[in-house]
A and B are shown apart, each in its own frame.
Chain A
């Protein structure tokens, strides 16, 4: 597997904010979200990112009723950020 080929997107899911409604799972086009097997602090099975395959489309974010349960990140591609990343890599 090519470790350098990164996904275009990445998900962060706040396990304490998620209420496990499952709308993000339904909404996700590449189907990379699932319900956790374990219950969280409040007794919900929460949404969990499969860890790979996110395109960063952001659809799950707007399907989710909670303000910050989901954060969608996208791979940085603009030159300045790339340069910064290079710099960080060399440091």
Chain B
């Protein structure tokens, strides 16, 4: 009879379809997970896989994995997988869900990931009511890294960073993420379950399935917190660890439904699709002719260009705008460009400088540590950067008298009272454009049409465009005059 027995039985509970048949993580051990004996993750993974099977959503499930012990979800789950940076899984899940509304998107996270480094991401994803499912596995400690205290560590619980036990006075209190998130308006379902005994485990399975179902129905944000054993780091046998969840952990983290609005929640429409790329200029109110053309007014011939410019002054002098117009003009002319601002928190005064590179080849770094041209809009900026100018380079200095101790035999200087010239033109604030005009004339790389196009893109006020165009022309003329004088 014994040999016939198998004929009389059928599989009632077995390996879920949503797991890969083999885990190609290592050469060996392709049939088992990397979890320690008795790990709560293994159980939570199984519940999730079973729920995916039961709901028939394997083909459209995208699982966003965390950093922590459960980092390898992509080796196990035969669904779409994305590995997020530490704590960022809810932000990644948001993007995935919004761009693929038909997908069932799951953020699977541990307590170090979700309640510490990722506390902002989970809070805002929940507050936006993203239609995603979050499985939050809480074992009250950082396990993968060897047992440091987490925000969820219990009072009195020992860890490598709380060797005397967590004390409220110095380490604060265990963070109750589910209760915290349940104070928000948007979430539809939040439940804390445990893996402390058979009854708890059965309830955990039901809650995980419900959290997925809510998303399939389009109801909104669902989160299931799973109190899970970590026998290895807790230094307990698997069975003792399981009981510790029920007998100790649950006292700090009571089980139960924290939020259930699934009864009254209406299916939310998917987020509207993003506008097409070509629609964006119209939405931003930018006219087509103002967009960078790239090669529109290309640099003549096959001339090699490699300009490295540093522009420095005090905030409010138009240091950054000068650099921006230069870079934008380069872009318009089809060059590779970079513009790197560096300034303090002040909107006015304070120091300000920017690095600009224009090149016909690719740019290796946006940093300009040895400029070919230094535009110094005041004396402190000159003194800060004059030694960095490379031999054979230029300094354009805003001042009629160039400080003698800054003079260098291997650097040419154009020193003029640009602010006064700008004042005579109509506004002292146009001095940056006069200096840019001089720079453009000096380098003779960019077509005037590119500069004009760049100016119109960056300066909106017609009065300023008119003034800036005159300022650029004045700067070009000043350089020619000075150059002729020097050359004479």
Contact = CB atoms under 8 A, between A and B. Distances in A.
B40 A65 contact: yes
B201 interface: yes
Contact of A71 (B11, B39, B40, B41): B11
Interface in B31-56: 31-33, 35-43, 45-47, 49
A64 B36 CA distance: 12
A24 to B, nearest CB: 10
Interface in B403-452: none
Given A67-B33, A67-B49, A27 B198 contact: yes
Interface string B65-78: 00000000000100
B201 A62 contact: yes
B121 to A, nearest CB: 27
A68 B43 contact: no
Nearest to B50: A62
B10 A63 contact: no
Contact of B12 (A20, A66, A74, A88): A74
Contacts of B201: 27, 62-63
B9 A76 contact: yes
A67 B45 contact: yes
Interface in B188-202: 198, 201-202
B221 to A, nearest CB: 26
B43 A72 contact: no
Contacts, number: 114
Contacts of B32: 16-17, 19, 66, 69
Contacts of B14: 61, 68, 71-72
Contacts of B40: 65
B261 interface: no
Given A14-B31, A71-B13, A65 B8 contact: no
A75 B46 CA distance: 23
B38 A21 contact: yes
B7 interface: yes
Contacts of B31: 14, 16-17, 68
A10 to B, nearest CB: 5
Given A65-B40, A67-B76, A85 B46 contact: no
Interface in A10-41: 10, 14, 16-17, 19-23, 26-27, 29
A3 B15 CA distance: 30
B10 A71 contact: no
Given A21-B38, A23-B239, A85-B8, A65 B43 contact: yes
Interface residues of B, number: 42
A71 B46 CA distance: 13
Interface string B198-234: 1001100100000000000000000000000001000
A9 to B, nearest CB: 7
Contact of B198 (A14, A63, A70): A63
Contacts of A66: 32-33, 35, 42
A68 B12 contact: no
Greatest chain A CB density within 10 A among B33, B202, B238 is at B238
A32 to B, nearest CB: 15
A10 B5 contact: yes
Interface string A44-84: 10000000000010110111111111111111100001000
B160 interface: no
29 contacts: A3-B1, A4-B1, A6-B8, A9-B9, A9-B12, A10-B6, A14-B31, A16-B32, A19-B32, A19-B37, A21-B38, A21-B238, A21-B239, A22-B239, A23-B38, A23-B238, A23-B239, A27-B198, A27-B201, A44-B37, A59-B198, A63-B43, A64-B46, A65-B39, A68-B31, A70-B13, A71-B14, A72-B12, A89-B4
Given A17-B31, A73-B11, A85-B8, 4 more contacts: A62-B205, A63-B198, A66-B32, A88-B7
Interface of B: 1, 4-16, 19, 29, 31-33, 35-43, 45-47, 49, 76, 198, 201-202, 205, 231, 237-239, 242
Interface of A: 3-4, 6, 9-10, 14, 16-17, 19-23, 26-27, 29, 42, 44, 56, 58-59, 61-76, 81, 85, 88-89
